[in-house]
Chains A and B, each alone.
Chain A
Amino acid sequence: MLRRSFRAMGTDVELLLDAEPGERAEGALDRAEAELERLEQVMSRFRADSELSLLNRDGRTEAASHDLVRVVKLAIEARQATGGLFDPTVHDAVVAAGYDRTFDALPLALAADATSTLCVDSTQGPCGGGVRVEGTTIELEPGTRLDLGGIGKGYAVDRVADVLAVVGPCLVNAGGDLAVRGGAWPVGVTDELTLELTRGGMATSGRDRRRWQRDGEERHHLIDPATGRPAVDAPIRVTVVAASAVAAEVAAKAAFLGGDVDLPRVIVTADGSTVLAGGLA
């Protein structure tokens, strides 16, 4: 079993590859790492020269890369499928909540304007700004900016798993977003619970990490598109297993925000108890 760990997309990444050590396997791991770096350069909102940052700045691009077009389309489809619980246009709300730089660079306590919140399009609620994709052209409604953090990471995990799968069964884990190709992979969900994943992806959304203080109030990065603020009265975290890391990421976020998700999932409720649902036993 080959294992490679490194930092990318603002989180810890693990590549597990069930293959004989050698040049071929090492080459695949190198290509996987390079693919992750390439996709981060496309979708990171923390890099001023990323394709996504340029789109958010200009509001329009006519020569978007295949990956950006694909992820934006997936995000739009996810918004429709989840009834708006998953929304890629929460960018300004996340920034307004204080998550305006990589989490590594985020001070634990922020003292800034706590009244700031987002409002993209008042006709559609605080979030839900218009995004038009046609061919390689992506156009954002004025005032709309995209945050592809979660779904972009899921997409990258799926792509990297495809790269590694050429060599052998593999698992890719980017800060909790997982995808497997072949093999059987025990994945720890809580201290007491392990799930063996043999196909698909897994993702966890929660408020137990990536949280910070602002004006004495605890904030986290999961924005409720209905209010444009960090979700309240939500469970501590939800882990969902789905056909892909992208689908798991979207479903985990929707389930965290109270959406009806019919997939295998583990919910850690606000009182700390663990609930299995969606066919898990």
Chain B
Amino acid sequence: MTDTSHRLYAVVIAVVVFFLSWATIAAKPWATAKPDPRLAALAQREQRLRADAKLVQQVVDSRMTAYRLALKARTAQIAAVKAQAAAAQARAQQVSQSTAQAPQYAAAPSVRVVNLPPLTVTRTS
């Protein structure tokens, strides 16, 4: 009985040792792990995107600089025009006050008496 048990244990241990050895050898712990090609492609793509983003940022920065310069020039133009308009309005108010009786109808049209056949006639409307 005891011998049989000992033999059985020895066989089980031998089988276990065998499978452990097999698994260890099959895992090839001495071989270096090969990098995943998908990870490498992903890394390359990330690098390209970073480069593109840097380029786009440079373009945006240069355009923003140009826009700020144009905006500054335009703002200055608008301010100048507003100043001119304010001055013109002030002059117009002065003229208006001086001709308050008929401000709208005082503008001089251009007309003279001629001795020509008329192209059309005016009459009571």
Interface, chain A (partner B; CB < 8 A): 11, 14, 16, 77-78, 81, 150, 153, 171, 173-178, 185-189, 193-210, 237, 239, 241-243, 247-251, 260-264, 276, 280-281
B102 within 8 A of A: yes
Sample (24) of A-B pairs whose CB atoms are under 8 Å apart: A81-B103, A176-B121, A177-B122, A186-B114, A188-B120, A189-B121, A194-B117, A195-B112, A196-B114, A199-B109, A203-B125, A205-B125, A209-B124, A241-B109, A243-B109, A247-B107, A261-B102, A262-B106, A263-B105, A263-B106, A263-B109, A276-B113, A280-B112, A281-B113
Partner among A81, A171, A206, A261 whose Cβ is within 8 Å of the Cβ of B124: A206
A11 to B108, CA, bound (A): 28
Q: What chain A residues lie within 8 Å of B105 (beta carbons)?
A: 81, 242-243, 247, 250-251, 261-263
A173/B122 in contact, CB under 8 A: yes
Partner among B101, B104, B107, B119 whose Cβ is within 8 Å of the Cβ of A186: B119
Q: What chain A residues lie within 8 Å of B34 (beta carbons)?
A: none
B109/A185 in contact, CB under 8 A: no
Q: Give the 6 A-B CB pairs with smallest separation, nearest first.
A: A200-B109, A188-B118, A243-B107, A206-B124, A199-B110, A188-B121
Q: What chain B residues lie within 8 Å of A178 (beta carbons)?
A: 120, 122
- Minimum CB–CB distance for B118 against chain A, Å: 3
- Minimum CB–CB distance for A253 against chain B, Å: 10
B120/A200 in contact, CB under 8 A: no
Interface size of B in residues (CB-CB distance below 8 Å): 25
A243 to B108, CA, bound (A): 6
List B70-113 residues whose CB lies under 8 Å from chain A.
101-113
A78 to B104, CA, bound (A): 8
B120/A185 in contact, CB under 8 A: yes
Q: What chain A residues lie within 8 Å of B119 (beta carbons)?
A: 16, 171, 185-187
A194/B111 in contact, CB under 8 A: no
Q: What chain A residues lie within 8 Å of B108 (beta carbons)?
A: 243
In the complex, the chain B residue whose C-beta lies closest to that of A186 is: B116
- Minimum CB–CB distance for B123 against chain A, Å: 4
B115 within 8 A of A: yes
A205 to B124, CA, bound (A): 5
Partner among B103, B104, B113, B125 whose Cβ is within 8 Å of the Cβ of A195: B113
A280/B111 in contact, CB under 8 A: yes
Q: What chain B residues lie within 8 Å of A16 (beta carbons)?
A: 119-120
- Minimum CB–CB distance for A39 against chain B, Å: 15
